[in-house]
Structure 1
Amino acid sequence: MSGWQLANPVRRVKANLKGRDLVVGDIHGCFDLLQSALDSLAFDERVDRLFSVGDLIDRGPDSIASMGWLGKPWFYACLGNHESVLLDYLYSQDEDLADTWCRFGGEWFFDLSFKMQTSLAQRVLQHCSYAVEISDQKGHAETGIVHADVPVGMSWSQFTSAIGDNSRLQYDTLWARERGRGLRSDRVEGVRQVVAGHQIVQGAHQSGNVWLIDTGAYRAEQQGGELTVLELPDRLHHFSDSALR
């Protein structure tokens, strides 16, 4: 995680007074499944907003399309560990990293021209953030969104104040798996709730005040996973290739 810097490490957005806010788990290139899910939910980009916990790319069939929404006025995305690897590789050209990335889904990237690779990286740098904060009507932090987790003992305000300049904290925010594995259930203070992905769980649920919503969308075709969408504040929707509910 060196040689690059996000334009907006923390993105803060005001309360949505006109429509709904939806948070989607790790997409991993399953763009058609996401589009079907939004159609099923009658998503209206004029008033509704879609937030992503990150990992738009790799493993699924259409990483480029999944990144195509970056920059849309109704779409907000956290940086996932897969997007961070894309940036790490492009800025280092490390062939060992390239081999590792290909083993967990990054082979599509190497079929692209260097110009396209660079364009996608710039899109990530401009439009992905380590954290997204949605405020309530009074301007207080209500929902925080990250890729993996907020470190133990850090309040939401401490976390968002430090994340832009702390490389160790950035790494933990992208890669931590303890909560998803059931090894911690503490609350993140200073915010009503946090939504995270990264670690695949058998069913979306809350741990402390943290929603875990990565339910393995890229496994949906094998009936081993599904795409989860959390309609804030607390309504879950689940989608697979065989069923939309």
Structure 2
Amino acid sequence: MYQRIDGSAWRNIWLVGDLHGCFTQLIAALRERKFDPYRDLLLSVGDLIDRGPQSAKCLNLLRCRWVYAVRGNHEQMALEALTGGKTALWEMNGGGWYKQSSAQQQGGLAELIARCQYLPLVIELRCGEVVHVIAHADYPAAVYAWQQEVDAHQVLWSRRRLTDHLAGRHGAIAGADHFWFGHTSLKRRYDSDNQHYIDTGAVFGGELTLVALQQAG
């Protein structure tokens, strides 16, 4: 469920919001930032796939040594569709691209989707003395602790904490410095207490948000 990353192994570390198949936008943003795949790291809050035009290319990012991602609810829906036959929910939420792929393409895509079961639900990144926690929708606890059991469904789907923030019911999560989430499409990045929501609706015509969690110099 958890993965721990030591930031000292990389020069720059970037975190990207929900991609949803927006591969061209991602590559343009990385080039603008002079991203070096040999020295830099890209982290993702999940939802690499569905809705956008290049889901297959975004899914293929999982093959790259310079990309680490948490599992999003769209990866979870894809897993449940291919392993449990729950195709209707996935297709209603933008998963039709898989069926539209050729039989040959589907073989490779199915392999990558199967890999998603091994994606962590939570990434803990240490950059010097600063601890970042990354999850798709929420970290459903008042205090963060490494390897603490949390409800996977809430990690992938819950909007309760964000709804509370937007209603004025604020509160920090103890145990780490920053918590980073995606899942809910917003017009702009939203920050409250030590929580940051960075799905800014790239697939719906908004910007693709990239955040520098570590920069050399």
Relative to the length of structure 1, the TM-score reads 0.79
Indicate yes or no: 2:189 matched with 1:204.
yes
Q: Check the 8 A contact 2:45/2:71 in 1, yes or no.
A: yes
Relative to the length of structure 2, the TM-score reads 0.89
Specify the SS of the correspondent of 1:103: helix
Structure 1 gap segments, 5+ residues each: 1-8, 164-168, 235-245
Q: Check the 8 A contact 1:78/1:145 in 2, yes or no.
A: yes
Specify the SS of the correspondent of 1:157: coil
Question: Among 87, 90, 95, which residue is 1:106 paired with?
Answer: 95
Q: Name which of structure 1's ranges 110-119 and 100-109 shifts more when overlaid on structure 2.
A: 110-119
Q: Check the 8 A contact 1:152/1:186 in 2, yes or no.
A: no
Q: Count residues with an aligned counterpart.
A: 209
Indicate yes or no: 2:124 matched with 1:146.
no
Task: Tell me the CA shift for residue 203 of structure 1.
Answer: 1.2
Question: Among 169, 177, 189, which residue is 1:192 paired with?
Answer: 177
Task: Tell me the CA shift for residue 185 of structure 1.
Answer: 2.8
User: In 1, Cα distance between the equivalents of 2:10 and 2:71?
Assistant: 27
User: In 2, Cα distance between the equivalents of 1:74 and 1:14?
Assistant: 14
Superposed CA RMSD:
2.0
Percent identical pairs in the alignment equals: 33
Q: What does residue 20 of structure 1 align with?
A: 12
Indicate yes or no: 2:118 matched with 1:137.
no
Per-residue CA deviation, residues 184-228 of structure 1 (Å, 9 max, x unaligned), is 5321111110110001122102122011100001012xxxx1110
Residue 162 of structure 1 aligns to which amino acid in structure 2? E
Q: What does residue 69 of structure 2 align with?
A: 77
Higher relative contact order (CA 8 A, sep 6+): 2
